[in-house]
Amino acid sequence: MDSQFRRGILDACVLAVLEKGESYGYQLVKDISQFITITESTLYPILKRLEQTAMLEVFSQEHNGRLRKYYRITPAGRDRITELLNEWEEIVKVYQFIVTERGESHEQSGISFGTESGA
């Protein structure tokens, strides 16, 4: 999968998980990796970028005697999910167009082969 495309999808996945409720790094990796491969090293820059663009907020909370960072989605993050879903609808339309065009071109080449073999 193209890296830029993948990056966009992962942004949406992180925001979608956070839309359900606050979460922390490891939990995000576990939740998202059920659907798409993601590692801690991939997640870190995504979290940083989403934090810098104010799509999520970070806060620390005590857990088992240590501080753990939690992430919370912001209204801007929710808007971004809507945008990504709208973009996705366009991608699906393009996908369907490509599949249809491809199907037609294969059908046409099939006919021409049939004619040649018949002749």
Q: What share of the chain is helix, strand, coil (3-state, %, to 5)?
A: 70, 15, 15
Query: Binding string, 13-52, against another protein, x = CB under 8 A?
Result: -----------xxxx-x---------xxxx-xx--xx---
Nearer to another protein, 63 or 106 (CB): 63
What minimum distance in Å lies between the beta carbon of 63 and another protein? 9
In what helix (H) or strand (E) does residue 23 lie, and over which residues does it extend? strand 23-24
Nearest 10 degrees: Cα torsion 44, 47, 48, 50: 150
Residue type (1 letter), 51: E
Nearer to another protein, 30 or 102 (CB): 30
What minimum distance in Å lies between the beta carbon of 39 and another protein? 6
Note whether 83 binds another protein by CB under 8 A: yes
